[in-house]
Amino acid sequence: MNILLLGSGGREHALAWKLKQSSHCSTLWCAPGNAGIAHVAKIASIDINDNDAIVEFARQNAIGLVVVGPEQPLVNGVVDALEEAGIDAFGPSAAAAQLEGSKGFTKDLCAEFDIPTAAYQRFNNAPKAKSYIRQQGAPIVIKADGLAAGKGVIVAMTEAEAMDAVDACFEGEFGSAGAEVVIEEFLVGEEASLFAICDGQTAMLMGTAQDHKRVGDRDTGPNTGGMGAYSPAPILDQELIDEVMTDIIVPTLAGMHSRGMPFRGILYAGLMLTADGPQLIEYNVRFGDPECQVLMPRLKTDLVELLMASASGSLLEVEAEWKDEVALTVVMASEGYPGHYEKYTRIEGLDHAEAAGGLVFHAGTAMQDGHLVATGGRVLNVVGFGKSVTEAQEAAYTAVDQIDWKEGFCRRDIGWRAVARESGRD
């Protein structure tokens, strides 16, 4: 079968790498891709936010399955458009993608179906939002309702910060995403992510991971798209996984089904493990980036079989098998990220990193005059493997140290919490 993958990040390189290994995959296409993806897929120059262009491309190239990496095309309804044209696609409909596209939608679903999450209120104007903040006090969390490229969440430690966040939202800092805000209780605990593949009725575990959102070592500095991750998340033991599946994932699927918008695709639950048990922080309706880069290398099962089962409603007939090892990825980014950074800086030594046992997935890369150059903020994902997080961390940094890229940087402590626990220091 010919497959079309949409996206251009490290997540999509990991997906392309795994899709290409499938016995069901003939030609793999990717739009718009990157320099790493170009090694495993043919690059298609279509706009991934243009549903008509995607349907047209899929028809002309006899595409049997479209795999959608990022959230925006899902929220735009690309899966609905492909389904109307009779083309199988992996991912939720636009209606079901509201689980990521509208935080208020998800909170209301949680309230209706008794899914554990922080107490909240929705507001569409500043005065009412501010009076709620005065009533509740700080710390408190302010969230722009819509998609804001990961920037629409402000964890306010003081009332003044919370008031400023409300003003920023309603003054348009997050565009239309901030026309409505959700204000919620501040939760305390350790964060972890759980991924479930869903076919509208059934959900199956697709692994767990923990990531590092802050740019600096010891989780300091501004938030980013993610500077590294490891899987599995040791803190999510079998008992907790069962609890999350039963109390959070299953009722979400049932709720979406009863609302007439069955959820198909990847449900990515961002969780806070509180003293009162796991609570849902947010849903994403896609694989995480960089979490996908540590899930795909651990998956033994043919990915196409799982994605087709999700698209066709037959997940009960398949099983996902995983390697019994830890994968840890370190993100290498352009100096200055998440702020301003220089583009087209030269990168060397990826072959040495791979020779040292690392697996390298590209994000913002391109070829220029025969050289690999950085074109984005997050540029490379270097994955290491081992029997423990400590071993996987050592393997990943051994490979990172083979890469010669003066204008790049990475965190040196990915996995620190788990490593400290493994050495008995926590």
Closest distance between ligand GLY and the C-beta of residue 226, in Å? 4
Q: Which does 289 bind (CB under 5 to 8 A by kind): ligand GLY, ligand AMP, none?
A: ligand GLY
Question: What is the CB neighbour count within 10 angstroms for residue 346?
Answer: 14
- Distance CA(68)–CA(184), nearest Å, equals 30
186 binds ligand AMP (CB under 6 A): yes
291 binds ligand GLY (CB under 6 A): yes
- Distance CA(248)–CA(136), nearest Å, equals 26
In the structure encoding, which two tokens stand for residue 193, read together?
């992510």
In the structure encoding, which two tokens stand for residue 417, read together?
């919490």
Q: Which does 282 bind (CB under 5 to 8 A by kind): ligand AMP, ligand GLY, none?
A: ligand AMP
14 binds ligand AMP (CB under 6 A): no
Q: Which does 421 bind (CB under 5 to 8 A by kind): ligand GLY, ligand AMP, none?
A: none
Residue whose CB is less far from ligand GLY, 299 or 309: 299
In the structure encoding, which two tokens stand for residue 121, read together?
């209120």
In the structure encoding, which two tokens stand for residue 29, read together?
């296409």
Secondary structure (3-state) at 322? strand
381 binds ligand GLY (CB under 6 A): no
118 binds ligand AMP (CB under 6 A): yes
Q: Which does 148 bind (CB under 5 to 8 A by kind): ligand GLY, ligand AMP, none?
A: none
What secondary structure letter does DSSP report for 186?
A: P
Helix, strand, coil % (nearest 5) of the chain? Answer: 35, 30, 35
- Distance CA(221)–CA(212), nearest Å, equals 11
Q: Which of residues 219-248 bind ligand GLY (CB under 6 A)?
A: 226
Q: Which of residues 227-246 bind ligand AMP (CB under 6 A)?
A: none
284 binds ligand GLY (CB under 6 A): yes
Spell out, one character per residue from 147 to 176, where the chain touches ligand AMP: x when CB under 6 A holds, - when not: ---x--x-x---------------------
> Do the Cβ atoms of 174 and 148 come closer than 8 Å?
yes
* Residue type at 10 in one-letter notation: G
Secondary structure (3-state) at 56? helix
| CA dihedral for 237, 119, 222, 169, sign (positive or negative) | positive
Task: For residue 26, count CB atoms less than 10 angstroms from its CB and return exposed for 0-12, middle for 13-18, buried for 19 or more.
Answer: exposed
Read off φ and ψ for residue 358, nearest 5 degrees: -85, 155
Name the β-bridge partners of 386.
326
Name the β-bridge partners of 4.
29, 66
187 binds ligand AMP (CB under 6 A): yes
Residue whose CB is less far from ligand GLY, 272 or 372: 272
In the structure encoding, which two tokens stand for residue 93, read together?
């409909």
Residue whose CB is less far from ligand GLY, 7 or 288: 288
Name the β-bridge partners of 384.
328
For ligand GLY, which residue of 80, 199, 289, 302 counts as binding (CB under 6 A)? Answer: 289
Closest distance between ligand AMP and the C-beta of residue 192, in Å? 10
- Site size toward ligand GLY, by CB under 6 A: 6
12 binds ligand GLY (CB under 6 A): no
Closest distance between ligand AMP and the C-beta of residue 270, in Å? 5
For ligand AMP, which residue of 108, 159, 173, 282 counts as binding (CB under 6 A)? Answer: 282
211 binds ligand GLY (CB under 6 A): yes
Q: Which stretch binds ligand AMP (CB under 6 A): 79-87, 178-186, 341-349, 410-418?
A: 178-186
270 binds ligand AMP (CB under 6 A): yes
What is the full DSSP assignment across 323-360? Answer: -SSEEEEEEEEETTTTS----S-B-B-HHHHHHTT-EE
Residue whose CB is less far from ligand AMP, 141 or 382: 141
- Site size toward ligand AMP, by CB under 6 A: 14
Closest distance between ligand GLY and the C-beta of residue 292, in Å? 8
> Do the Cβ atoms of 140 and 119 come closer than 8 Å?
no
Task: For residue 191, count CB atoms less than 10 angstroms from its CB and return exposed for 0-12, middle for 13-18, buried for 19 or more.
Answer: middle
Which residues sit at the interface with ligand AMP, rule CB under 6 A? Answer: 118, 141, 150, 153, 155, 184-187, 191, 213, 270, 281-282
Which residues sit at the interface with ligand GLY, rule CB under 6 A? Answer: 211, 226, 284, 288-289, 291
